[in-house]
Amino acid sequence: MRENDKNPAQSLIESFGVEEIPAQERHAKPLDLFRLIFGGANTFSTAVLGSFPVLFGLSFQAGLAAILLGVFVGALILAPMGIFGALNGTNNAVSSSAHFGVHGRIVGSFLSLLTAVAFFSLSVWSSGDALVGGAHRLIGLDENNLSLGLAYGLFAALVLVVCIYGFRFMLWVNKIAVICASALFLLGIAAFVGPFDFAYAGSLGMDDAGFWASFLGAALIAMSNPVSFGAFLGDWSRYIPKQTSKLRIMTAVFAAQVATLIPFIFGLATATIVAVQAPQYIEQNNYVGGLLSIAPSWYFLPVCLLAVIGGMSTGTTALYGTGLDMSSMFPRLLSRVQATVLIGIAAIAFIFIGRFVADLVQSVSTFAVLIVTCTTPWIMIMIIGLLDRRGHYSGHDLQAFSRGERGGIYWFSHGWNWRAMSAWIPSAAVGLCFVNLPGQFVGTFGELAGGIDISLPLTLGLACLLYLALLRLFPEPAAVFGPKGALWSSPAAPASVKTVGKTA
């Protein structure tokens, strides 16, 4: 059933896939985008990310600086990615066809899948642990694999149901989450203000070996939160009318990420208290257990509520977009609902394997840094392309893959734009080689800079230089540019472009 009225009921299952959303169905506002982004990040799992500077041995002040650096840089990089959905009425992976090619859009789909699995897992894991831990303190529930497994399974199923119903239901959930989660985090000030020490020194000083490696590692993990939204923003901004101010959209995206400093700083501050009062939990990388052990008894219920509300927000924003994108890759086989269920089941399996077989804390934090390293150059290529095309796109040709067609102005070389691919692949590869995440992942050349992680400036700078150079040296077809032409590259001579037929 399609949503035909201006304010469709949240109980209707969304029927739109990645096809361009009709203008009459696009009633969302930048404020709605703010709510979805902030609601998806104003959660307990973001507080867990905020605890990582303490787990790395940093002081509160150094950890705060790392978080501020990561969030602000990530928000600046992310902000333009909200524009694509409003311009094209589809998700960002499909929009990337304009720059990576009809087939090259699978790069965005792959990054979306990695991000969804990592952050869906983080939300279910942190929320499930908080629920079971709170129940243990309140009613004596045993903290064992059975109780944890049941909590994970139940919570993951609830998230999956919300994702199946789609955008409107997600928007309703996040409207509630933004208010409730913020109130519960602020209530935490009263719970923990007494034992909090602003001068907490940590185990690493600025003169200690490994300080800067830990500092940049913590900043990259903080940065992974905004960057992780890069492939997803179009899933929600596609419901914003095309004529909406681009500045308003970017402001909503940036403001939503700045607002996430609430859960980040909550996680950082409470982690310092755990490190002083229950250091064994920090040694075990168990921030959630440590938080529950030091929390006043009256704050147990708010923690459980925060786990449920926040986890629902993070889980739905991560899983919804990947299900949507997967359906576009196999349009003849999977609807949006079927693809969402398939991805959800696979992600749940990953959660159980990671939690009970591997070290999920280490896995998720490593995933977060790898996501930043691979997604940042993809985002920069998209933004450069957006600027060079002056925001001009052909909605019809963007949907060639979904219609099973070959050809169109974004076909380039057999469906691949080798210019963008030749900029993204080496940039991501070089970045991975220079990653230095203490005790977790160190790339081949991770120690060359004295143990300092320089992967981000390298991958970001290389992507920009390579793509700009390739656009200049090997001009793109004139057909991809609008009537105003290119902003700085020199388009190739016009050539006829036609759809040559259906794919096999």
- Residue 469 contacts by C-beta under 8 Å, 6 or more apart in sequence? none
- For the chain, domains (ranges, CATH) are 26-478 (1.10.4160.10)
Q: Where do the DSSP E strands lie in 36-194? A: none
- Residue 168 contacts by C-beta under 8 Å, 6 or more apart in sequence? 3, 8, 9, 10, 12, 14
* pLDDT value of residue 4: 41
Residue corresponding to tokens 């999956």: 160
Distances (CA, A) of 98 to 105, 240, 397: 8, 20, 8
Distances (CA, A) of 447 to 47, 453, 454: 29, 8, 10
Q: Rounded to an integer, what is the distance from CA 385 to the centroid of its chain?
A: 21
Taking 3-state DSSP, the helix, strand and coil percentages for the chain, each rounded to the nearest 5, stand at 65, 5, 30
What is the enclosing helix (H) or strand (E) of 181? helix 167-192
SS3 letters for 374-385?
HHHHHHHHHHHH
| Euclidean distance between CA atoms 436 and 450, whole angstroms | 10
* pLDDT value of residue 84: 93
- Residue 176 contacts by C-beta under 8 Å, 6 or more apart in sequence? 309
Q: Which of 23, 48, 83 is nearest to 385 (CA)?
A: 83
**Mean pLDDT, contiguous 10-residue spans, the chain (504 residues):** 44 56 85 84 83 91 95 94 91 90 88 77 76 75 79 77 64 70 83 90 82 85 85 83 94 94 93 91 78 82 74 67 65 67 75 64 68 89 94 88 81 93 95 78 77 82 95 90 85 55 51
| Euclidean distance between CA atoms 418 and 165, whole angstroms | 38
Residue corresponding to tokens 């920090």: 282
* pLDDT value of residue 3: 40
Q: Which of 259, 324, 288 is nearest to 124 (CA)?
A: 288
Helix (H, G, I), strand (E, B) or coil at 454: coil
- Angle, helices 336-356 vs 300-329, to 10°: value is 130
| Euclidean distance between CA atoms 419 and 408, whole angstroms | 17
- Indicate the DSSP class of residue 416: B
